Amino acid sequence: MNYHKVFFKPGDILVEVAEGSTLKEAMNDAGLEFDFLCGGGGTCGKCRVKISEGLTTPVTREQEMLQMKELDEGIRLACMTTVHNDVTVSLPNQKKLQHNILIASDERSFQIEPQLHKVFVEVDKPSRETQNSDWCRLKESLVKRGYKDSELESTISILRQMPDVLRGSNNRITAVMYNSKVAGIEPEDTTKTMLGMAFDIGTTTIVGYLLDLYSGKELSVVSTLNPQTTFGADVISRLTFASHEENGLIKLQSAVIESINKLIIEAVEKASVTRGQIYGVSFAANTCMHHIFLGINPQSIAVAPYVPALSEPLVLDASELKISINQAGKVFMLPNIAGFVGADTVAVLLATELDRSEDIKLVIDIGTNGEIALGSREKMVACSAAAGPAFEGAQISSGMRGAVGAIDHVYYRDKLEYSVIGGGEPLGVCGSALLDTVAGLVELGIVNKRGKILAYEQLTNPVARRFKENLIQHEGQGAFVLAEASTTGHGRPIMITQSDIRELQMAKGAMAAGVRVLIETYGIQIQDIKEVLLAGAFGNYLNPHSACVIGLIPLELESKIKMIGNAAGTGSKLALLSSNEFRRSKDIAEYVKFVELGSYPRFNSIFGECTYFNIQ
């Protein structure tokens, strides 16, 4: 087989790939983190790259996605273009590859009580007369420290290390205990240090917090794009990849574990500690990410009745998952609730203490699948709403994720103003700007209750008439221009089209219907809700007023909205720092009543109503 060189600029990264590989595969090999929104299906058109040297292959399906001018300039889609000779590829904007991730945590009082304990013991010296074994003498010294002999357990790996560790340290060792199990043994007294890492594996991003397990102090925070995005942007495309591609599950699992291990290295380097000092890692994730991380085929989640293989919390040896921490290290997996209400939701509930609240609260984590929970210490209900990827900028004509270059907020002043993430020329709109734009259009009467963009002539609000220039016809439909071609980073205009508004209506309709069904199921009125907690990256970026204007959240609740940041990460930390909190996560998962929207009576009509906008 022939191999060709692919040279990526900026960054000057050179890889060799087999004849016929796609540029997407070459970017993978090069370790470039790039967000293939449609998973490489050639349908989102977001993976534009420029071939600056070398022959290109004939254009096929790409033609639909690219303009003639772009083709002339050598712009191609990385997922559709194959390599047949040495080429040099310019990436659109290296900064775009960096991700803007929300890292915030809520303060919450709890008792630190780590899952693992360290016990320093001086083991009796071996005796020729009794010839008591190493393990027998170690047990005796642990019994003196309060452990029960009949409950003490070991592993073959510990037994293999024991003779050398005991003799190398003059019988002075530290036992790392997980309940009554000796998880590790170390020479001398190492009881002073015990670190852990709490992770939140999102579909898009992975965040890790390095913590001191004694003080709870956060030593460093690291994050990265979930490398699985290469195989598909959303949960459904990953489920499909895991089930239908050869070794798909293993590829996805390896990618995330490799990424976790890199984050661990990064985190310990930042804090000037070592991986060997980490004894525990906890994980919050949605059910699909959870299963893939564990190497459990998630196919049953993909099809009705959407049942997970595992909901219960799980403790594993870190070595079983090839997580590179101390060899005694343990992995703590938070429990799931249902196929699309996962351990991340449980972590959010753990962090927000919904199960202990006297007041009824609504907790919303908006994403491709929005998870919604409603409840108090009396009762909790939860559901998952299939919002689709609109909030993440996918299927929106000028849409993009909340990365550098995205318009994130829009203001209707004398003229239209907007802010861009990272400053500079805009490249597209992200979900929060989509909300702002449409909310403004609704408030100005430019878009009616049913979501239709009215013609300029139909507008009655004098303020609305200021935006005459922004209202255009584009490819046979109405559109609202946010940025002219001359002001954007790629020379194409950024706009919201009628189709985009329809996409948003579907997305917000799904979320709003979920909220409505939970309220009905719970048997309360909207005004009984005392607080609305918005979790997750998107929840923290959106303008609450916009969310209420478009009816994503009931308008009555606008003043009760509180952003709580990455509550899933906070829940993951709690489970790591406190065995009591980890146990409580199990109770929460069992206690929450799952509501399956698809089976709910009248769901379709509720959804239909919820696609309307609130204000006319």
Does 167 participate in binding a copy of itself (rule CB under 8 A)? yes
Max intra-chain CA distance, the chain? 104
Give the helix/strand (H/E) hosting 494. Answer: strand 494-497
Does 583 participate in binding a copy of itself (rule CB under 8 A)? no
Structure tokens belonging to residue 547: 């969310």
CB atoms under 10 Å from CB of 424, counted, come to 12
Does 170 participate in binding a copy of itself (rule CB under 8 A)? no
Out of 61, 160, 468, 562, the residue judged to bind a copy of itself by CB under 8 A: 160
Name the segment binding a copy of itself (CB under 8 A); options: 260-268, 438-446, 556-564, 591-599. 591-599
Out of 131, 486, 525, 559, the residue judged to bind a copy of itself by CB under 8 A: 131
Does 486 participate in binding a copy of itself (rule CB under 8 A)? no
Structure tokens belonging to residue 281: 């890692």
CA 112 vs. chain centroid, Å, equals 26
Name the segment binding a copy of itself (CB under 8 A); options: 76-84, 98-106, 179-187, 311-319. 311-319
For the bound state, the minimum distance from the C-beta of residue 167 to a copy of itself, rounded and expressed in Å, comes to 7
For the bound state, the minimum distance from the C-beta of residue 272 to a copy of itself, rounded and expressed in Å, comes to 33
Distance CA(603)–CA(599), nearest Å, equals 8
Of 216, 199, 347, which Cα lies nearest the Cα of 281? Answer: 199
Distance CA(574)–CA(552), nearest Å, equals 30
For the bound state, the minimum distance from the C-beta of residue 135 to a copy of itself, rounded and expressed in Å, comes to 5
Q: With both helix axes pointing from N to C terminus, report the angle between 579-591 and 343-352 in degrees, rounded to the nearest 10.
A: 110
Does 591 participate in binding a copy of itself (rule CB under 8 A)? no
Name the segment binding a copy of itself (CB under 8 A); options: 203-211, 268-276, 330-338, 466-474. 330-338
For the bound state, the minimum distance from the C-beta of residue 304 to a copy of itself, rounded and expressed in Å, comes to 6
Q: With both helix axes pointing from N to C terminus, report the angle between 235-244 and 287-294 in degrees, rounded to the nearest 10.
A: 30
* Coil, helix or strand at residue 134: helix
Identify which of residues 128 and 356 has a Cβ nearer to a copy of itself in the complex: 128
Distance CA(602)–CA(78), nearest Å, equals 44
Name the segment binding a copy of itself (CB under 8 A); options: 205-213, 309-317, 511-519, 576-584. 309-317
* Three-state secondary structure of 53-104: ECCCCCCCHHHHCCCHHHHHCCEEECCCCECCCCEEEECCCHHHHCCCCCCC
Out of 112, 273, 310, 386, the residue judged to bind a copy of itself by CB under 8 A: 310
Identify which of residues 319 and 614 has a Cβ nearer to a copy of itself in the complex: 319
For the bound state, the minimum distance from the C-beta of residue 387 to a copy of itself, rounded and expressed in Å, comes to 19
**Sequence-ordered list of residues with C-beta below 8 angstroms from that of 191, at least 6 positions apart, any chain:** 118, 119, 120, 174
For the bound state, the minimum distance from the C-beta of residue 68 to a copy of itself, rounded and expressed in Å, comes to 49
Does 306 participate in binding a copy of itself (rule CB under 8 A)? yes
Distance CA(428)–CA(176), nearest Å, equals 51
Identify which of residues 272 and 599 has a Cβ nearer to a copy of itself in the complex: 599
Q: What is the chain's alpha carbon radius of gyration, rounded to the nearest angstrom?
A: 27
Does 424 participate in binding a copy of itself (rule CB under 8 A)? no
CB atoms under 10 Å from CB of 474, counted, come to 15
Binding marks (x or -) toward a copy of itself, 263..302, rule CB under 8 A? -------------------------------xxxx-xx--
Q: What residues does 532 pair with on adjacent strands?
A: 362, 561
Q: With both helix axes pointing from N to C terminus, report the angle between 567-577 and 343-352 in degrees, rounded to the nearest 10.
A: 80
Binding marks (x or -) toward a copy of itself, 189..228, rule CB under 8 A? ----------------------------------------
Out of 13, 103, 159, 219, the residue judged to bind a copy of itself by CB under 8 A: 159
Distance CA(268)–CA(595), nearest Å, equals 41
Does 130 participate in binding a copy of itself (rule CB under 8 A)? yes
Does 428 participate in binding a copy of itself (rule CB under 8 A)? no
Identify which of residues 89 and 166 has a Cβ nearer to a copy of itself in the complex: 166
Identify which of residues 165 and 482 has a Cβ nearer to a copy of itself in the complex: 165
Binding site for a copy of itself (CB under 8 A): 126-136, 156, 159-160, 162-164, 167, 294-297, 299-300, 304-312, 314, 316, 320-321, 336-339, 594, 596, 598-599
